[in-house]
Structure formats: structure tokens, C-alpha cells
Chain A
Amino acid sequence: MINHHLSDEILWAYATGSLPAGHALLVSCHLELCSDCKSRLGEAEALAGAMLQSTEQQKPSDDMFDLLMARVEQEAPVPAAAFLNEPKPEKGVPTALWDVLGHGYDAIKWKMVGPGIRQFILPIKPSEGECARLLKLSPGFVTPEHSHHGSEMTLVLQGSFSDETGRYKIGDVQEADEHVHHQPVADTEEDCICLAVTDAPLDFKGFLPKLLQPLFRI
């Protein structure tokens, strides 16, 4: 049961293709897990389709249709559904993430950031200023309190965490912006694995967390 969903502005950005790459990956993973948001994406796309339909018109070249016809008439029929044979991801790993990792969570080469927290920077080409990574928090781990210059989106993939704004379980998504100060805590017996995407460096409070910042690469 998913309690924390995507905001309308994130869905609209995704529907129009204007969301930065790492954020789009996170949204894509959430959509695989959440039929509510998937149906809301359908509405956003319908809105975009309606905008296309009512957009102003600019005349294309006169010979364009004939050129197009010549092109499609030469085409051999394309066999459908060849893509259905792709290997299925391990249970619990969203397909979009599997496409990036090529394996499940067990085979990830985690890097220690500090006691109780590991990270893995995803090998995707992020949009400018973005960082997309997986975080693994040990049970009971308390993240240093921090706020943000830009925004941070977090999707829970395993376990759960809690902070001032609520409890986040598998499939739940948190959007934090520059007004949010929070201190997430992994709150079950299990490691908590999250996909976290930032689009500007985080701003840690206090001296020690500041030392950790270069290690976070965030």
C-alpha cells in the first residue's frame, strides 16, 4: 500500500519529457509500483495530447506527404513484440532500475560513506547538476540533519525510513525542496535501500556532517 505519491508538478514534468534524467528514472520506478500515479500520468498525457490538438498550426512543406508516403510504402512490415523476450528483473527491482544495474541489490558494489550508510552512484548520464544514487541505511541509522539548495527525491526500494514528515515504505516517494529540514531514520530491522536523486548539493547543518559532504558527493 503506497501512501506517499508523486506531486502533480513532477507528473506533468515527466509527461512532457522535461524532467531531468535521474528524476525521470525515479518516477519511472515509482510508476511501476503505483497504479494510482500511473493512472494520473495517463491524465497528464491526455492533457498534453489535448494541448497538441489545440496548438496553433504552421504549414509544412507541400511535398511532405508524398515523401512520407514514398517512405512508408517501401517499408517491410515490422514484427511486433520482439521486446517481450527481454530478461525479467529480479523480484523487487523495478525494470527501469534493472536496465541501469543489470543485476539485483545483492550484487551492488556499495561504497561506505560513514558508519551505517553506504551508497552507489548510478552509472547513468544525469542531467546537469543532478546526482542519482542508491543509498543503503543500516537499521537505526540516523541521517545527519540537512536541508537542500535544490530538490531531493527519494524512493524506498527496500525496508523503510521515517522523518519529521512521516513514514516511508516500499514504493513511497518523498519530494523535498529548499524549505525542508529533515533527519531520516531507518526504522526497521532490515537495511533500508532508497533511490535518491538530488539536483543541487545538499546543505548539511553542523561541522561533522559538513566533513561528510565530499564523501556523499552530493
Chain B
Amino acid sequence: MQLQNNDGDSENCPTSAELSALLQTLGKDRSREIFRELFEFFAPRLKTYFLKGGATSELSEELIQETFVIVWRKAEMFDSRKASASTWIYTIARNLRIDRFRKERRYLYKDDQFFANEMVEEETQLDDHHQTQLSERVKKVLPLLPAEQSTIIKLAFYEDASHSKIAQQLELPLGTVKSRMRLALARLRKLLEGVDL
């Protein structure tokens, strides 16, 4: 099974809920130990994320550092009712990557805007239970997607590849890329609803 190949020792891995609790505590007491725990969990994953996005090893580490400088600065604004720790840290990393590699769209992905506006409305809040277990669920269902669909989802996620770039890379018509992505997301949504942990 592919389910555990990413973790090695998934026994010792903090759950999503634990990660969110750690980040919330960091916001209150700025504890070095908690900061280290979050770093140890996310830094190796962020490294993969930045490397696959085309950054060199050196630049990846610089971007990880920058991500955590922002985590440190803004931890007190983190609200686990609005996003999980992974989602919150993901958006910081994504914005930094855009800032570095996609300068023409950096003004649309500002952290200030994200923290201030994007997540304030109550109706946008996800169901707590669903939210905190999402990563575990995604890990379970992602391998269930047909490869031709998950490849397309991942190219956008890791390589920041636009629809037309994916079409070029996979030598597919643009319409096919879009419809596969749409199918994949619909399928994921359905699978995520059905999965029991």
C-alpha cells in the first residue's frame, strides 16, 4: 500500500489536530520547543514542495526559513476554526514561491490580505471534524484516483504548472487537461465524503 510510504514512522507523526494545537500555542507563548516541533514536521515536507517547484536545494532552504519567519511573526493570528495548521502554512509557502518565481502575480497573493480578509467569514469555515482529519483522509484517497487524474492535480500543486503548461507537457488538448482536473476534483470530493478513519 502507498498509504504510509511518506511517513516512515507514522506512529510518531502528530495528527492534524495536534499540529493545529501546537501552532495555536506558539501564537500565545512563543515557545522555542513548540516552534521546533512544527519546524521538524513541516520543514522536510516544505523542502520537497520547493524542490519540486524547481528551486535549488539552497533556495529551498532559504524559502523554508522565510516561511518559518512568517509563521513565527504571525502565529498569534492563526485561528484553528478557520484553517488547519497545514493549510495556513501551505498558503504562506505558496505565496513565498509566487513572490520568488512568479513576480507578475505576487500582488494577488499577499499574506496580509490572506490573513485579514480571506478567512473571516463564518460561512467559509469548514466543519471542524472534517477539517482536522482532512490530511489523513486525503492521504487515504489520493492513491485511489486514476493516475491520469492525480498527475494533473499534482503538476499544478508541486510544479505550479498552468493548464496550458500541463497540456504542453503531457501532449494533451487543453480541454482534456481541464476536464480531467475537474473530474479528479469531483472524484476527490466524493471519496473524501465517503472515507472512514
Contacts and interface: CB of A to CB of B under 8 A. Distances in A.
A185 B144 CA distance: 45
Contacts of A81: 116
Given A46-B87, A49-B135, A75-B73, A35 B116 contact: no
A68 B163 contact: no
B116 A84 contact: yes
Contact of A50 (B69, B72, B86, B108): B86
A121 interface: no
A49 B84 contact: yes
A46 B104 contact: no
A55 B45 contact: yes
A177 B182 contact: no
B134 interface: yes
A199 to B, nearest CB: 6
A98 B118 CA distance: 17
Interface string A33-61: 00100110111111111111111111111
Contacts of B135: 49-50, 53-54
A8 interface: yes
Contact of A51 (B5, B91, B142, B182): B142
A142 B25 CA distance: 59
A99 interface: yes
Contact of A68 (B68, B89, B131): B68
Contact of A54 (B6, B73, B103, B178): B6
A150 interface: yes
B136 to A, nearest CB: 8
B35 to A, nearest CB: 8
A129 B137 CA distance: 38
A8 B185 CA distance: 7
A47 B61 CA distance: 24
Contacts of B73: 72, 75, 78
A51 B77 CA distance: 23
- How many interface residues does chain B have, given as a range? 35 or more
A126 B36 contact: no
A8 B65 contact: no
A49 B124 contact: no
B102 A47 contact: no
Contacts of A179: 175
B6 to A, nearest CB: 5
28 contacts: A7-B178, A9-B182, A17-B105, A19-B162, A24-B108, A38-B118, A38-B124, A42-B118, A48-B157, A49-B86, A50-B84, A50-B86, A52-B45, A52-B86, A55-B6, A57-B45, A58-B47, A59-B44, A60-B61, A64-B61, A64-B64, A65-B43, A68-B68, A69-B35, A75-B69, A99-B107, A125-B103, A150-B174
Interface of B: 5-6, 8, 16, 19, 32, 35-36, 39-40, 42-49, 51, 61, 64-65, 68-69, 72-73, 77, 83-84, 86-91, 93-95, 97-98, 102-105, 107-109, 112-113, 116, 118-119, 121, 123-126, 131, 134-135, 137-139, 142, 153-154, 156-157, 159-165, 173-175, 178-179, 181-182, 185-186, 188
